[in-house]
Amino acid sequence: MLVLGGTGEARALAALLDGDARFDVTLSLAGRTASPLPAPGRTRSGGFGGAEGLAQWLRAEQVDALVDATHPFAAAISGHAAAAAAATGVPLLALRRPGWTPGPGDRWYPAATLAEAAGLLPSLGARAFLTVGRQDLAVFADTGVFCLIRSVDPPAVPLPRDHHLVLARGPFGVDDELRLLRDHRIDVLVTKDSGGSATAAKLTAARERGLPVLVVRRPPPPPGVPVAATVEEAAGRLRALPG
């Protein structure tokens, strides 16, 4: 079984199945993080060369099941996974944690794309906490808004002219996020609807400070791909596969 990873759920699924004699699990990482967290079992790093390259790897390694447990916004690799599964006949399962939902006191402003979010940002604040991932920062370079950027590794794309970069790895607590917002005088939060608890503290902090939150909606999974919402659900579906 090949698990396309990069998320905590991917690692958890690999760990859960690594001790099961029915599974021989390979966890694939994109290789974009310089020092990834340790992972259970066998791992590989780097791309496959698109859908065709992934299909060739599935055939060569005689893979019986493919799990797309990539980030909810990794639309390109999800599309490649769907195409490769269709070309090889390998069963595909997407593991997607549920998105966030606004609660009482939240001031959320949805955006369909990063470009739409960048266009809306100047109308919502002058000092933004920009948490969209280091590969998607360039679209905000010309907003004229101060951007506080937090990343595990230094970004390699054009950054907003007025910015401050913090290199740190989560998870982060609410007190940490409140301190960050206060120290940098942040008046708007920008985030992707990634879901999960690891980075949700920033939403709580924004609510406590009454800040607007610009939320980029996640893309849907490829049509026809079954989706599991939890690691346990994914493991149950995989164990139910024939053979």
The answer to whether domain 107-216 has CATH 3.40.50 is: yes
User: Could you write out the three-class secondary structure of 215-226?
Assistant: EECCCCCCCCCC
What is the pLDDT at residue 76? 93
Burial (CB count <10 Å: 0-12, 13-18, 19+), residue 34: exposed
The CATH code belonging to domain 2-98+219-239 is 3.40.50.720
Burial (CB count <10 Å: 0-12, 13-18, 19+), residue 123: exposed
The answer to whether the CB of 202 falls within 8 A of the CB of 131 is yes
Arithmetic mean of pLDDT over the chain? 92
What is the pLDDT at residue 32? 58
The answer to whether the CB of 106 falls within 8 A of the CB of 191 is no
What is the pLDDT at residue 92? 97
Residues of the chain with pLDDT under 50: none
What is the pLDDT at residue 189? 98
Q: Give the Cα separation of 122 and 141 in Å (integer).
A: 12
The answer to whether the CB of 67 falls within 8 A of the CB of 2 is yes
What is the pLDDT at residue 170? 79
42 forms beta bridges with 26
pTM score of the predicted model: 0.85
What is the pLDDT at residue 196? 85
pLDDT digits 0-9 by tens, 12-50: 999 999 878 889 999 998 765 555 555 667 889 888 999
How much of the chain, in percent, has pLDDT values that exceed 90? Answer: 75
